[in-house]
Amino acid sequence: MNFLIKILYLISKMPLKILYVFSDIIFFLNYNIVGYRKKIITQNLKNSFPEKTPKEIAAIRKKFYQNFSDYLVETIKSFTMSETETKVRMQHINQHVFREAKEEGKNIILLAGHVFNWEWMNTLATIVPQSSCHPVYRKVNSTFWEDQMKKVRSKFGNTALEANEVIMHILRNKNNGGSIYLFVADQTPHSSHVNYGLEFLNQRTPAFIGYDKLATRMDLAFIYSDMKKVKRGHYQINYYRMEPDGDKFVTNEVVKKFHQLLENTIKKRPDNYLWSHRKWKYQDSIKTFDSEKL
């Protein structure tokens, strides 16, 4: 395992222009020979975009494989990527929403989806007025990859938190505008925890709702991250404050608003979403389904 770590870190130190050669090779093998989760990707796209022709679905799928290959090498690059390079490659727009939350004395829940490349968001911690930034990570079967993801998400002054401990951390932490918690919020809950679902991308979708409990219990600022791939190796994030329709968020309101914003992001650039994950595998386990259209 130590040998593998050394190899990955050596690869990580290569310039991105060289790593993208590896990405091209991965794409060729994956798209033309291996066909990684091709059936799942195709079915997810068909279900999400029933109005698109088979030719259009195939074109999105091909671009997805290209972006996914870039994501893999960019993730390895993030092991050793400097703060300066990350800032050059990741542009953060509408930073005023962070200053406003700080002035209001409200901690921030930052919600993002599995849109490429969410792993490069970490330098946000170096440009916002908040003193504490906490990217949330999820335990995985591989101890090696969990350790690496924790290290990556703890760079640049961040302090990563495991998903099972973050809610308690937020409740215990003083709500004074000094903290940001970053959730990749379109996670698929385990079948035993699928309590709520909604229609998202034309499908019954189990929704992770942990942050919704915070929205109705605490006076926090909720911000959406609209990720855009400008060109290879360069991304832009537009940040938008999510506001309740009334005086405060009601149950499941922030969940619906997040999925609506994420759906808009995906529809604009469908090849940038992680179609290979099994987001809809537990849709039959939904206990309470919200049939209201987003």
Encode pLDDT of 158-168 as tens digits: 999 998 899 99
Residue that has been written with the tokens 């989806």 in this structure: 113
What's the whole-number average pLDDT of the chain?
94
pLDDT tens-digit profile of 199-243? 999 999 999 998 998 999 999 999 999 999 999 999 999 999 999
pTM listed for this prediction: 0.94
- pLDDT of 103 strictly over 70: yes
- pLDDT of 1 strictly over 80: no
Residue type, 93: I
- 288 burial type by CB count under 10 A (0-12 exposed, 13-18 middle, 19+ buried): exposed
**Helical ranges in the chain per DSSP H:** 2-12, 16-29, 38-48, 54-77, 83-89, 96-104, 143-153, 163-172, 210-217, 253-268
226 sits in which H/E element: strand 221-231
**Please, how many CA atoms are within 13 Å of residue 35, restricted to the half-sphere of its CB?**
6
What confidence category does residue 139 fall into, taking pLDDT thresholds of 50, 70 and 90? Answer: confident
pLDDT of residue 114: 97
Of 129-133, 141-145, 173-177, 198-202, the least confident: 141-145
Please state, in angstroms and rounded to a whole number, the distance separating the CA atoms of residues 190 and 168. Answer: 20
Q: Which residues contact 269 (CB under 8 A, 6 or more apart)?
A: 115, 228, 229
